[in-house]
């Protein structure tokens, strides 16, 4: 068949998402369009590429055999686009950056205007979640992660070290005495974590020291935690860069949370050298290092 990259683009999206609906969301297309493109490719190849089920799709043996070749096509298409975009000295195109929700909203989003002013044709797609994207599956171009990387094939650099603290609002503390030891937390309201948020470094350590506290709210969103603490509902742990960014919050028992975590910037080895990705990673690196160096509970390495 005449190799149609557009059809393989849909094939890769479905393979990575594990479902047509998931691929549609990533491609900003309707599920009907994704299904139609997939059928076109299967017809052109005279092969079934996916086994369909109610729970999603799974690559057939044929689909598995062509996956690596399709990724090679994707890489070549990216290089062609890079050559065209860079031919006039301008940086253009989309770079997807995945980051923890608190870090992305507090540190990155407010600074992106500067990057846009430098490179107006460069578009950043910012993915904020407690869930980790798979860079090897090209779910993002750049990932900023708290914690050491586990995929050895990725290209990465350590940006610094994130510290954590226990925070309450002035509103909550107005009628209370000083906190001198962890025992002083007993009987106080806390904003507990659930889901992926409960697995974060700060919430795991906080859970161990707050067993005698009253759970006023449980949530899987760090921003729901934050707003509840700001309203005076209770106490919760946050990364230092988040807690220190709100002047109405007070750190209780400074230094009591001993855990810290490395902050890493990671990229796919096949795309890390592209000019637009280099420009964005350099920008993100500078923002994060500056923030960590300026925060009292974090040390830039």
Domains detected in the chain: 5-85 (1.10.10.10), 91-301 (3.40.190.290)
pLDDT digit string, tens, across residues 96-122: 999 988 889 888 999 999 999 999 989
pLDDT digit string, tens, across residues 122-172: 999 999 876 678 888 788 899 999 887 776 688 889 998 888 999 999 889
Q: Which of 133, 130, 110, 114 is nearest to 122 (CA)?
A: 114
Strand blocks (E) in 50-154: 50-53, 56-59, 93-99, 122-128, 142-146
Rg of the chain in Å (alpha carbons):
23
CB atoms within 10 A of CB 135: 26
pLDDT digit string, tens, across residues 173-209: 876 766 777 888 888 999 999 998 998 889 999 998 8
pTM: 0.68
């Amino acid at each position: 068949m005449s190799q149609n990259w557009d059809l393989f683009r849909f094939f890769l999206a479905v393979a990575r998402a594990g479902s047509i609906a998931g691929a549609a969301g990533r491609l900003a297309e309707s599920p009907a369009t994704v299904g139609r493109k997939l059928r076109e490719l299967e017809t052109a190849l005279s092969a079934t590429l996916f086994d369909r089920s109610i729970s999603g799709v799974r690559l057939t043996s044929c689909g598995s055999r062509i996956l690596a070749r399709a990724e090679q096509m994707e890489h070549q298409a990216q290089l062609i686009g890079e050559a065209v975009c860079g031919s006039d000295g301008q940086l253009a195109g989309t770079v997807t950056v995945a980051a923890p929700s608190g870090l992305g909203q507090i540190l990155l989003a407010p600074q992106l205007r500067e990057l846009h002013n430098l490179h107006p044709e460069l578009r950043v797609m910012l993915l904020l979640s407690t869930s980790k994207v798979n860079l090897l599956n090209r779910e993002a171009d750049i990932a900023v992660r708290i914690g050491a990387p586990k995929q050895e094939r990725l290209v990465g650099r350590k940006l610094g070290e994130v510290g954590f603290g226990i925070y309450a609002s002035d509103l909550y503390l107005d009628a209370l005495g000083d906190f001198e030891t962890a025992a002083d937390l007993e009987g106080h309201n806390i904003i507990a974590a659930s889901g992926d948020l409960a697995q974060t470094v700060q919430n795991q350590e906080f859970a161990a020291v707050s067993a005698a506290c009253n759970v006023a709210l449980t949530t899987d969103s760090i921003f729901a935690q934050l707003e509840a603490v700001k309203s005076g509902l209770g106490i919760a742990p946050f990364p230092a860069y988040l807690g220190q960014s709100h002047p109405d919050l007070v750190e209780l028992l400074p230094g009591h949370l001993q855990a810290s975590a490395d902050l890493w910037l990671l990229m796919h080895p096949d795309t890390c050298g592209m000019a637009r990705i280099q420009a964005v990673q350099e920008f993100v690196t500078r923002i994060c290092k500056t923030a960590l160096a300026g925060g009292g509970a974090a040390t830039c390495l």
